[in-house]
Amino acid sequence: AARAVGQAYTTFATQRLGKPPRVAVGRDNRPSGGSLAQGIAEGIAAAGGSALDVGEAPTPALYFATKTLPVDGGIQVTGSHNPPEFNGFKMVLAHDAVFGDDIQVLYRLINDDKLITKAGGTQTAHRGLLTAYRKAIVQRNAPLARRLKVVVDCGNGVTSLVAVETLRELGADVVALFDESDGTFPHHHPDPTVLENLRDLQAVVKKEKAELGIAFDGDGDRIGAVDEKGEPVLGDQLLVLFGRDLVRRMGPGKPVIFDVKCSEVLPQMLKRAGLEPVMWKTGHSFIKQKMKEIGAPLAGEMSGHMFFGGDWYGFDDALLTWPSRRPTSLPRSIPFRRSTACASRSPRGGDCCGPRIPSRSW
């Protein structure tokens, strides 16, 4: 099945680009990731494309590869924040997400047996992506205004390979939690929007008297945060902080996109900061498309996806989220909790993004 997806993607890309594509292929650390990535690469090569294996890496690092390596697109094998037995694919072509109707095109190519088979395809390995990714983040953000004590919960996800080292290189005093890469997620599920998954982080922040705590999801494109008291800081509160930092760096009047799950307080706070709030559909692909359409330098979702354009590449990246260029947003006002100023509220349920309603339609 993975081979068919790789071949369908390459068929689609060849039709779109007018030539066989060069494709970066990455994966998170789930047990099935290696075999699925190999299948994707074989499918790309079977259709005449060039597959560049960048290895295990967070999804944002794969996005980074599509911006900085000589490739036409990328495919990340990841189950994101889903249980370890699940897996899937996030795809990029010509700097745009492949989603919606394009996914249906891939399905029809496979279902109607219209896949290209072409000689000349290649499979090669590229090493050094994580090093380049880490250096780019450090170059953009270092040094921190002052040394901060931060608890970092990698949840045994693929950010374990790069997060702690990156934050220490930025100058943070890092207390690492569950930073051994293990795609079975033995300690807790890596979904920081579920409050139960933040319990360990909250406890260690208070025990270590840290100034803040951050948690990553399984593939590193979403962030969760708690303040120095261990209280959750929600996605819309984080977006206000980044919005204020954006005004300091780029001036007022810039559009900032937020998704429909955010609170009604958020647009009020963005306007008060001198920004233009734009509400849009939930979903990282929709948000990135809208950012490109209106030239927004910042966007965020209640779920913890935070997107940075302007002086960055416009994709969602949890590791990039907490240190801004002038690191005055998250740690600017300590205690950290006071600096949220969005609304002194805590989620009432077990989910930072609102209630989840069971569906029987599957």
CATH entry, 142-232, from 3.40.50.970, 3.30.70.260, 3.40.120.10, 3.30.1490.100: 3.40.120.10
Output the pLDDT for position 346.
38
> Which amino acid appears at position 291 of this protein?
M
pLDDT at 356: 64
The catalytic residue positions are: 80
Q: Where are the alpha helices (DSSP H) in the chain?
A: 2-17, 33-46, 59-68, 101-111, 129-141, 163-170, 199-208, 235-250, 265-272, 284-294, 318-321, 336-340
Query: What are the extents of the domains in the chain?
Result: 2-127, 142-232, 234-340
Q: What pLDDT does residue 123 have?
A: 98
Q: Do domains 2-127 and 234-340 have the same CATH topology?
A: yes
Query: CA quadruple 202, 354, 301, 359: dihedral positive or negative?
Result: positive
pLDDT the model gives residue 53: 99
* Confidence band for 352, pLDDT divided at 50, 70 and 90: low
- Per-residue pLDDT at 357 exceeds 80: no
Average pLDDT, the chain: 91
Domain 2-127 = CATH 3.40.50.1370: no
Nearest to 33 by CA among 161, 136, 149, 146: 161
140-183: pLDDT as tens digits: 888 887 889 999 999 999 999 999 999 999 999 999 999 999 99
CB burial readout 311-346, b (16+ within 10 A) else e: ebbbbbbbbbbbbbbebbbbbbeeebbebbebbeee
Q: What is the pLDDT of residue 164?
A: 97
CA pair distance 281, 199, nearest whole angstrom:
30
pLDDT over 90 at 94, yes or no: yes
Write down the pLDDT at residue 210.
97
CATH T-level assignment (fold) for domain 234-340: Alpha-D-Glucose-1,6-Bisphosphate; Chain A, domain 3 (3.40.120)
Take residue 54 and report the two structure tokens written for it.
Answer: 């960048």
Helix (H, G, I), strand (E, B) or coil at 219: coil
Say what percent of the chain tops pLDDT 70. Answer: 89
> Per-residue pLDDT averaged across 256-280, rounded?
96
d(C-alpha 238, C-alpha 183), whole Å: 28
The CA distance from 336 to 223, in Å, is 16
Instruction: Please name which of 162, 157, 161 lies closest in space to residue 184, comparing C-alpha atoms.
Output: 157
CA–CA distance, 281 with 206 (Å, rounded to integer)? 36
